[in-house]
A and B are shown apart, each in its own frame.
Chain A
C-alpha cells in the first residue's frame, strides 16, 4: 500500500523536516478543512485538529514499531475525523443525526497512545513551569534548545561550564521530583 514517496515523507516527518511537513500540509489540509467546515467547525478548528493529527502521525513515525498500513491521506483523515467527533461531543455541538463521514481504518490504539503521550508531555510542561527561574530557562536551553554547557554558562553568567553543569543537575533533580510526584498520582 505504502509507496516510496510516502515512506520518504514519513522519514522526513520523523526527523522534523519542514519540507516534509509542508508537503503533507499542502496535500491534505484542504480536505480536512472542508470536512471540518462542513461539520459545524470554523477554520481555526481545522487548524487545531490538523495540528493534533500531525502530532499523532509524528508520534507514530518516530515510534519503534512504526508501520503504516495505509496512505498518509487516509490515515490523517481517519484521525482528524475521530478527533473532531470527540471535540464536537465535548463542545456539545454534535448532532448524532448527522452522519459525518465513514469509519475508515482502525486507529483506536494510536489515539490511546497519543493521549497517553500527550498527558506525559503536559505533565512535563507543568513541572517545567513549577520549578521556577533560572532552572526553567537553564533546562530548556540544555534539553530543548540543545545548547552546549559553555554557551549556557556564558548566557546565564556562571563562571564556568562546570558550575553551570552542577546547577543544571540541581535543577534536573527538582524537575524530576515534581514530575514524578504528579506522574505517580496518575497525572
Chain B
C-alpha cells in the first residue's frame, strides 16, 4: 500500500499535479533516501515510455483515419487488400462479381456441353469423366443461379413499361428502416463514393434515396427515400437499442450478399470492435460482401448494431457498429430531419420464422453508382 502511495506521488510529481509543499517534501525524500530516488527515476522513465507509446498509438490512429478518408476520395490508390489492410468492407462491387460469374458460367457451360456430347457419344474417356462430374456438381448451382439471373433480367427488359428509369448500379449493400416515413440506416463506406442511390425492397420495388447524414468516423449513414411511390409504413417491427448489448447474446441479421435476402445468425463475441474500437462490437456470424449496413438484431427484436466489416485473415470475426451511434447521429440532425425511432418492437416472443417475416420488409438493398 505504501508502494502504491509512493508511485501515485511520483506520477503526480511527473505530471506537475503536486502542490509546492508536496513537491518540496518529495524532493527532500528523494535527496535523503537513495532507494526512493532510484525508484522515482525508474518510474518516471517508465511513465515517459508509456506516454510515448500512447502518443504514437494515437498518432497512428489519426494516420489511419486520414488515410482511409483519402483512399475513399481516391487521392490514395486503393490497394489490393494485402498486408496492412486487415478489414474488408462488406459491400459488393457487383459489376466485377457479375462479370466473374458470367465468365465462369460461360466457360463452364461450354466445357460441360462439350463434355456431355463427348460422354454421350462414347463412354470411353474414363480418366476424365469423374472429374467432370465433380466439377459439374460444383458449378451447377452457380450456373442455375446465373441462369435465373439471366431469366429475371430478360423478364425485366421484356416488359416495355419499366416502373422507372433505373440506374446501372455498381455496388450492392444493405440498409434498414428506422422511421416509418422512409429513413434508412446503412454504412458510410457504402455510399461514400456514390453519385446515385436507390434502395430496393425484397419484392424488387426500387426507390430513389439520398443521404441526409454521413459520418466516416462512425461509418454510419442515414438515407431518406424521396420517391413518391414509397408508401409510409404503419409501424416497424423492431426497436433500436440504446444501451449496450450483452456478451454472448444470440443475434441474427438479414442482408443482401446476393440478389435475394439472406438470413444469418450468431452471437455477440466482444463489446469492442477492431483493435479495441469501443463504438462497435465484435460478432461471430457468417457474412459476405453485400451484408454491410444490415441490422444486427437480438432475440427480443431489438436492433443492437449495424454490420460493417470483417477481418480478412480470420473466419467469422465480424464487426458491427453499436446501435447507440444511431441515436448520436439523430441528435446531430434533429433540426433538419424529423426522425422518430420505433419505441417498442412487436416481434418479441415470436418464433424466428415469424420474426423474419415481419422484419424482411424493412430491410432494403442499397444500390448505386
Contacts and interface: CB of A to CB of B under 8 A. Distances in A.
A58 B59 contact: yes
B83 interface: yes
Contact of B65 (A18, A58, A137, A166): A18
A30 B76 CA distance: 8
Contact of B276 (A140, A173, A176): A140
Instruction: Point out which of B63, B69, B79 has the most chain A C-beta atoms below 10 A from its C-beta.
Output: B63
A51 B42 CA distance: 31
Chain A: number of interface residues, binned into ranges: 35 or more
Given A22-B70, A33-B76, A51 B60 contact: yes
Given A25-B67, A47-B67, A42 B82 contact: yes
A43 interface: yes
Interface in A1-49: 16-18, 21-22, 25-26, 29-30, 33, 42-44, 46-48
Given A26-B75, A29-B76, A169 B8 contact: yes
B58 interface: yes
B79 A16 contact: no
A163 B46 CA distance: 23
B11 to A, nearest CB: 9
A120 B65 contact: no
Contacts of A26: 70, 75
A165 B276 CA distance: 22
Contacts of A73: none
B24 interface: no
B278 to A, nearest CB: 8
A81 to B, nearest CB: 19
B77 A25 contact: no
A16 B80 CA distance: 28
A42 B69 CA distance: 20
* Interface bin, chain B: 35 or more
B314 interface: no
Contacts of B85: 44
A119 B306 CA distance: 38
A30 B55 CA distance: 27
Contacts of B63: 21, 51, 54-55
Nearest to A172: B7
A180 B46 contact: yes
Contacts of A175: 50
A179 interface: yes
A144 B57 contact: yes
B9 to A, nearest CB: 11
A25 to B, nearest CB: 6
B62 A16 contact: yes
A29 B4 CA distance: 47
A185 to B, nearest CB: 15
A142 to B, nearest CB: 10
B77 A33 contact: yes
A121 interface: yes
Contacts of A55: 56, 59-60, 63
A169 B4 contact: yes
A128 to B, nearest CB: 8
Nearest to A165: B8
Q: Which 3 A-B pairs have the closest CB atoms?
A: A44-B79, A124-B53, A43-B77
28 contacts: A17-B62, A21-B63, A22-B69, A22-B70, A25-B67, A25-B70, A26-B70, A33-B77, A42-B79, A42-B82, A47-B76, A47-B84, A48-B84, A51-B60, A55-B56, A55-B60, A55-B63, A117-B52, A120-B53, A124-B50, A124-B53, A125-B53, A137-B276, A143-B54, A144-B57, A172-B7, A173-B3, A175-B50
Given A44-B85, A54-B59, A120-B49, 18 more contacts: A16-B55, A16-B62, A21-B63, A22-B69, A25-B75, A29-B75, A29-B76, A30-B75, A43-B77, A44-B83, A117-B56, A124-B49, A143-B54, A144-B57, A144-B58, A169-B7, A172-B7, A175-B50
